Amino acid sequence: MAKSFIQEHNIENLTKLYDLLDSFESLLLQYIGQLSGLAPCSGVFQKSIVYILGLLEKKGDECFDLLQNLIVSLGKLKFPQVTNYDFISDFCFQMSSLLFCTASSSYKLYYAPIKSLDVVVIDEAAQLKECESIIPLQLPDLRHAILAGDEYQLQAMVKSHISASVDFGRSLFQRLGLLGWSKHLLNMQYRMHPSISAFPRRMFYSNKITDAPSVKSDGYEKRYLEGLFFGPYSFINITEGKEEFDDNGQSRKNMVEAAVVRAIVLRLYKGWCKSPCNKKVSIGVISPYSAQVKAIERMIGQRFSNLENFTVNIKSIDAFQGAEEDIILLSLVRSNNFGEIGFLSNPQRLNVALTRARHCLWVLGNGKTLAKANLIWRDFITDAKERKCFFNANEDEKISETIIYVKKELDQLDDLLSGNSVLFRNARWKVLFASNFIKSFSKLQSSQTKMHVFNLIGKLSNGWRPRKIKVDPPCESSVRIVKQFKVQGLYL
């Protein structure tokens, strides 16, 4: 009790001392102003100087008395010697009423010079292995334990398949729930725009969570880019991407999606540069696969690393749990005809990915692949279509150009020989390629010739015609609807 009283008394005296010094400074400035602003012979000057000097002397005496009291009072606390690390550490532990640490490092508290703790609070308890929770819970004389977490998000990472099969990753939070212990639901979310929270609220929380008034206000909706694609919530359907393994064959990547992510980030940066105040914008780029994270990191590089108000954070979904950003770009990677999505089928991983954004969530993926996957992903795609938040990549001209460019760079032009590709989906006439043409195109040896033909077909399909047109019927018996164009030595 005596030590507590001394601490409170010192805090009170320090507050008074601060106020006195502030007053002393104001008086001193007035004194300097009088010296510089009035003539020495003036009677007003003599009277003001005497008056201010008297106040300064009085305030100085009060400061001196307080400082003396503080020196005596603080001496009773036995401050540690600044050269002794252990003494300083012990002093901090003895004076602290709140201690923050990880669950695993809490073992150090068993040996620290502290009094018994009354309460332990374990945050992110649903992502903590049961054996890890036991470490802080065994601290002596604990009276209360509070576990805070979300069992509908990712559990602890367990790499061993054998350990995972016997629920080694299960949390104490989950076990208590299975045993019927009551839970208090924090039923209001303060992060996401309602368009972003709509699907997770319904799918994972049975609509028991509501949106706070702050996120429902008109001012919470922010527009960072023009166009329907870039509202608060959208799914951008990219069917031209190819999923492939990295060099180690351990993780997957999709270079087309990575290129689109880069293009969108660059557009955001250009828009931010043009904004009048350069207000702070934080962007999170997340993906379920580490290979995709690395591919995007290589594409974007360090261009935005030193900007104060424009940040780009690129991580895996698992590493992003607990974090949040203004804008989230989610690259799903998987693109196949069989609906195979691997560990992306984990509903908790989807929940984490969809709940990181404050103002805008833009999801990039192959709608057909996801629609063939499990029920929750089919529901996700259906929900986006019903809410008119589902957009095909070709509907945005700049995204289409990005896809075509990266397909050329990757020498994957054959993938665009389809009437549904970004090259022809908006063409004035639909291209119906005969199988022999596709075979002939594939047999072209020179990639330069292949690209030349490819560009020419694309231009013609969108209405371009050469100025000097030589139109001949392919043969005498053909109708005039069929025309043969000779352009740059090529017959079309």
Q: What is the pLDDT of residue 435?
A: 44
- Asked whether 392 and 241 are in contact (CB, 8 A), the reply is no
Q: What is the pLDDT of residue 103?
A: 93
Is residue 217 included in any domain, yes or no? yes
| Per-residue confidence band for 310, with pLDDT thresholds at 50, 70 and 90 | very high
Q: What is the mean pLDDT of residues 413-437?
A: 56
* % of the chain beyond a pLDDT of 70: 77
Residue length of the chain: 492
Distance CA 70, CA 78 (A): 13
Q: Within the chain, how many helices (H) and strands (E) appear? A: 17, 15
**H-type helices in 171-250, by residue range?**
172-178, 194-205, 213-216
Is residue 126 included in any domain, yes or no? yes
Name the nearest CA neighbour of 366 among 411, 328, 417, 415: 415
DSSP state of 151: T
Write the pLDDT tens digit of every residue in 49-91: 777 788 888 888 888 888 888 777 776 666 656 667 777 888 8
More confident residue, 383 or 411: 383
147 and 289 co-located in one domain: no
210 and 131 co-located in one domain: no
More confident residue, 475 or 310: 310
217 and 335 co-located in one domain: yes
Q: What is the mean pLDDT of residues 191-210?
A: 96
Helix or strand or coil: residue 289?
coil
Q: Which domain holds residue 15?
A: 2-75
Name the nearest CA neighbour of 407 among 246, 242, 218: 242
Question: Which of 184, 216, 251 lies at the terminal end of a domain, its last residue?
Answer: 184
Which residue carries 């261009």 as its tokens?
303
303 and 204 co-located in one domain: yes
Q: Are strands 233-237 and 390-392 parallel, antiparallel or unpaired?
A: parallel
Question: Which of 333, 364, 395 lies at the terminal end of a domain, its last residue?
Answer: 395
Q: What is the pLDDT of residue 90?
A: 82
Q: What is the mean pLDDT of residues 472-491?
A: 60
* 175 Cβ contact partners less than 8 Å away, ≥ 6 residues apart: 130
Query: In this structure, what is the dihedral angle of CA atoms 445, 446, 452, 456, given to the nearest 10 degrees?
Result: 0
Q: What is the pLDDT of residue 52?
A: 78
| Per-residue confidence band for 41, with pLDDT thresholds at 50, 70 and 90 | very low
385 and 476 co-located in one domain: no
Q: What is the mean pLDDT of residues 371-398?
A: 93
Q: What is the pLDDT of residue 62?
A: 84
- Asked whether 386 and 235 are in contact (CB, 8 A), the reply is no
| Most trustworthy range by pLDDT among 34-38, 212-216, 226-230 | 212-216
Q: What is the mean pLDDT of residues 140-150?
A: 92
Distance CA 187, CA 174 (A): 19
Is residue 364 included in any domain, yes or no? yes
More confident residue, 65 or 324: 324
By mean pLDDT, which of 12-26, 253-267, 451-465 is the weakest?
451-465
Is 90 exceeded by the pLDDT of residue 29? no
Q: What is the pLDDT of residue 422?
A: 64
pTM of the model: 0.72
225 and 302 co-located in one domain: yes
258 and 385 co-located in one domain: yes
Q: What is the pLDDT of residue 425?
A: 60
Is residue 226 included in any domain, yes or no? yes
Is 90 exceeded by the pLDDT of residue 187? yes
Q: What is the mean pLDDT of residues 249-259?
A: 93
Is residue 159 included in any domain, yes or no? yes
Write the pLDDT tens digit of every residue in 438-478: 555 555 556 666 666 666 666 666 666 666 555 555 566 55
Question: Which of 345, 364, 395 lies at the terminal end of a domain, its last residue?
Answer: 395
Q: What is the mean pLDDT of residues 238-251?
A: 89
By mean pLDDT, which of 6-15, 151-160, 377-386 is the weakest?
6-15
Q: What is the mean pLDDT of residues 34-46?
A: 54
Mean pLDDT of the residues in the chain: 83
Q: Token digits for 96?
A: 């602290």
317 and 389 co-located in one domain: yes
Is residue 307 included in any domain, yes or no? yes
294 and 344 co-located in one domain: yes
| Most trustworthy range by pLDDT among 41-45, 70-74, 258-262, 465-469 | 258-262
116 and 68 co-located in one domain: no
386 and 424 co-located in one domain: no
| Per-residue confidence band for 436, with pLDDT thresholds at 50, 70 and 90 | very low
If one counts the domains in the chain, the total is 4
Q: What is the pLDDT of residue 39?
A: 46
| Most trustworthy range by pLDDT among 131-145, 236-250, 354-368 | 354-368
Is residue 401 included in any domain, yes or no? no
Is residue 240 included in any domain, yes or no? yes
377 and 416 co-located in one domain: no
* 334 Cβ contact partners less than 8 Å away, ≥ 6 residues apart: 243, 252, 254, 340, 341, 342, 344, 365, 366, 369, 370
> What type of residue sits at position 156?
A
Is 70 exceeded by the pLDDT of residue 152? yes
More confident residue, 51 or 318: 318
Q: What is the pLDDT of residue 67?
A: 83
DSSP state of 343: G
CATH of the domain at 319: 3.40.50.300
| Per-residue confidence band for 405, with pLDDT thresholds at 50, 70 and 90 | confident
